[in-house]
Structure 1
Amino acid sequence: MKKVLVCRENDDRETRVALIPDDIKKLIPLGFEVKVVCGAGVKSGFSDEDYKAAGAVLVASNEDGYGDSDIIVRIMKPDSVKGIKKDSLHLSYMDPFNNRELLDEFASEGIQAVSLEMIPRTTLAQKMDVQSSQTSLAGYVAVLNAASRLPKVLPMMVTPAGTINPARVFVIGVGVAGLQAIATAKRLGARVDAFDTRPVVEEQVKSLGASFLKIDLGEMGQTAQGYAKELTPEQIAKQKEAQAKVCEKANIVITTAKVFGRKAPRLLEKNVLDRMMKGSIVVDLACGSGGNVEGSKPFEDVVTENGVTILNGELLERQVPYDASKMFSGNITAFLTHFYDKEAKELKINLEDEIMKGCLLTSGGQIIHERFKAN
């Protein structure tokens, strides 16, 4: 496998591209042949001429490139796998827990499908982790979006006209997105509080200059993949009330809590939003998977009756497509080079490799991943 196709995304809202010219320059000397669909990188700031200069061959459409491509890379899952060559390797976000029909289609067509969000969160796979690279940017954008809509400034200011107190920012969920949100808010001069169900992150929060909200929830922790474990109903109720007291005083609240493969936990309900100050801003980064905040909507902003604005937090990395594409492309390049056989001068699929075993969903006409094949 060495013929790579870089697809143009079908969703008009998508601004990113899976491989950038600089990384194509790294892949071609290894023996990879790269085709890029015309216009694939335009929204990210990469022209067709940039790709030609990098050594890629341009094709008119995704379908025109499918026929003789061994490896297909794109950001989001395809609408259809029609035309993709049997035994080829397809890499993209797949949302596999909610797209069983698509998995069946990949399997029936004999296509080997890699779900990028299933790449194990290990030290070895860190360079391939699209979840971390993209959500980090989402955390950054969440703060900027909130700051731009907040009717006050974030930093403390001492002026001849008086002193302006710093804005108060509350970050719920201290994963990659949460940490970046904390760091960004602190750089902008806000006072930041944060909470996570994993006590282990308290030190990281404090190292960024923020305060960690301690709530005694009993036994907590994280999964082997590094995600927060699901809480019991009693733990959730206790957490909600403690968070509500902080939300009442906060100018900006950013929620990032997700449970991988399941609906996001509801953390802020209407009764909490009703207690918040008029003009305060909430950003729900989990709105696309059920939502942490009651009333949040993917790709829409909502204003509550008491004047709290709930900003869309879905796929915020699309707002910084140049760097989002650069990071995503670096993840893809790391994946391709990890499985590259220098002697054979092509990519080989090693099902014994823990990374490939963790993210390859279909192969040999079947769903092979342990989490999905029996469902």
Structure 2
Amino acid sequence: MLIVIPKESRQGETRVAASPETVKKLIKQGHQVRVQSGAGFAAHWHDADYLAAGATIGIDSASTYIDASLILKVQAPDTSEIELIPQHAALVCQFDIYRYPHLAALAAKQVDAYALELIPRITRGQSMDILSSQANIAGYRAVLLAAQYFPRFMPMFMTAAGSVKPARVLILGAGVAGLQAIATAKRMGAIVEVFDVRPATREQVESLGAKFIEVELNDEERAAFEHTGGYAKEMSDDYRQRQSTLIAQQAAQADIIITTALIPGKAAPVLISTETVATMKSGSVIIDMAASYGGNCQLSKADEVVTSDNGVTIVGHSNLAALVATDASSMFARNVLTFLGLLTNKEGQYVPQSEDEIIQATRVTHAGSIYFGEAATPPTKTAISSTAEAPIIDPIPA
């Protein structure tokens, strides 16, 4: 089977869907692999590295896609790329599926498309879980980005010129990105406080040396969390009011805030209001990891750095994992390689395990039909429709 890896076309996307390491393994499995020239350059892999792994090189997009049986990408294709995809090919990538507008075009070309962000959070899916692998990197990079904009030291310093207090970091959300942000901020010497709506995260937060802050739950709210499997869920208006008050109190004391809350298919929950920003200290920094989905901060703008009237810097970078291109690509590629084990047999043929729950959850187009959302032509599968209960995109590690 011919597997192709195109160069990512989206602005700012530095990752690539296959590394020389995973290409070598694919070839050992009996596949042919074609990589577009320059596809790995931003991740610091050159064409020669892929050639050494056994791949061939496509000169441009058109020559790369020719006769492809399976296409591996980081970002879902735009309309110009869809035109190049051969009829009946298979496509594996991250779709941002709730906002992706071109499923009908893929279905029209009889493409079997798989959205990796829909891999269910089961034990067997952990090695394929791109959300966790990329959120881990994003959480790490968010802290470094905060340090870049913060006009003070992160750790405590004692010098002949006097002492410097450690920075106070508030992290909103203790999923994968949040936990990595905690660990990174602690290593950099900051005092870290963490808020999460899920009581189950307390133990993990405290094990990393951070202080867990929470809204006191009533009996009904506490019982509701026992049936969510540890995922975040939308809460009552009364809870949100109590949450807003608590976060505003903590934000006023924080030097750095990192927000991670995302709910699939819905706008990001607003956790930091304009009024709350106005109470923060001049020089404080907010890293809003949900900026491209509307933002956890009211003042956030996707892919922009905004400074409030009182001197708070709000950073809305929408692709933090792409700032750590080599390791992000390596981890993404390994996730994809594991996922391909469900699509191919020992002879290297495309034989998807259609009854497998992971395949059922991730397949969004097949045989001319759409399998996701309101446009689904067959009945929407339970594995997909269950996400309407909105597990947070940055999940708790299993």
Q: Which runs of structure 2 are paired with 1:25-174 in the superposition (5 Å)?
A: 25-80=24-79, 81-99=82-100, 101-174=101-174
Give the equivalent residue in structure 2 for 1:204: 204
In the TM superposition, residue 88 of structure 1 has moved relative to its aligned partner by 1.3
The answer to whether the 8 Å contact 1:96/1:103 transfers is no
Give the equivalent residue in structure 1 for 2:394: none
C-alpha spacing 1:226/1:42, structure 2 compared with 1 (3 Å): farther
The answer to whether the 8 Å contact 2:285/2:312 transfers is yes
State the distance in 1 between where 2:239 and 2:19 align: 45
State the distance in 2 between where 1:224 and 1:370 align: 22
**1:297 maps onto 2:314 in alignment:** no
Q: Which runs of structure 2 are paired with 1:291-330 in the superposition (5 Å)?
A: 291-330=295-334
In the TM superposition, residue 347 of structure 1 has moved relative to its aligned partner by 3.4
The answer to whether the 8 Å contact 1:358/1:369 transfers is no
In the TM superposition, residue 371 of structure 1 has moved relative to its aligned partner by 6.9
The answer to whether the 8 Å contact 2:172/2:194 transfers is yes
In the TM superposition, residue 341 of structure 1 has moved relative to its aligned partner by 1.3
**1:257 maps onto 2:266 in alignment:** no
Number of residue pairs matched by the alignment:
372
In the TM superposition, residue 357 of structure 1 has moved relative to its aligned partner by 0.5
Give the alignment's TM-score, normalised by structure 2.
Answer: 0.90
Deviations 1:198-239 (A, max 9, x none): 000000000000000021143153886864111222211210
Q: What SS does structure 1 have at the residue aligned with 2:309? A: coil
Which ranges in structure 2 are unaligned for 5 or more consecutive residues? 381-398
State the distance in 1 between where 2:196 and 2:88 align: 42
Partner AA of 1:53 in structure 2: A
Among 339, 348, 352, the residue aligned to 2:351: 348
State the distance in 1 between where 2:282 and 2:372 align: 48
The answer to whether the 8 Å contact 2:342/2:359 transfers is no
C-alpha spacing 1:226/1:56, structure 2 compared with 1 (3 Å): farther
Partner AA of 1:365 in structure 2: G
Give the alignment's TM-score, normalised by structure 1.
Answer: 0.95
Deviations 1:137-194 (A, max 9, x none): 1111110011121111111122233222111000001111100100000000000000
State the distance in 2 between where 1:148 and 1:195 align: 23
In the TM superposition, residue 372 of structure 1 has moved relative to its aligned partner by 5.2
Give the equivalent residue in structure 2 for 1:242: 246
Partner AA of 2:254 in structure 1: A
State the distance in 2 between where 1:333 and 1:131 align: 15
State the distance in 1 between where 2:194 and 2:375 align: 35
Deviations 1:333-359 (A, max 9, x none): 1111343311x3323111100111110
Partner AA of 2:76 in structure 1: K
The answer to whether the 8 Å contact 2:2/2:68 transfers is yes
State the distance in 1 between where 2:228 and 2:340 align: 25
Q: Indicate the RMSD between aligned Cα atoms, in angstroms.
A: 1.7
Q: What SS does structure 2 have at the residue aligned with 1:135? A: helix
Among 265, 268, 271, the residue aligned to 2:275: 271
Give the equivalent residue in structure 2 for 1:364: 367
Which ranges in structure 1 are unaligned for 5 or more consecutive residues? none
Q: What SS does structure 2 have at the residue aligned with 1:15? A: coil
Give the equivalent residue in structure 2 for 1:195: 195
State the distance in 2 between where 1:331 and 1:223 align: 28
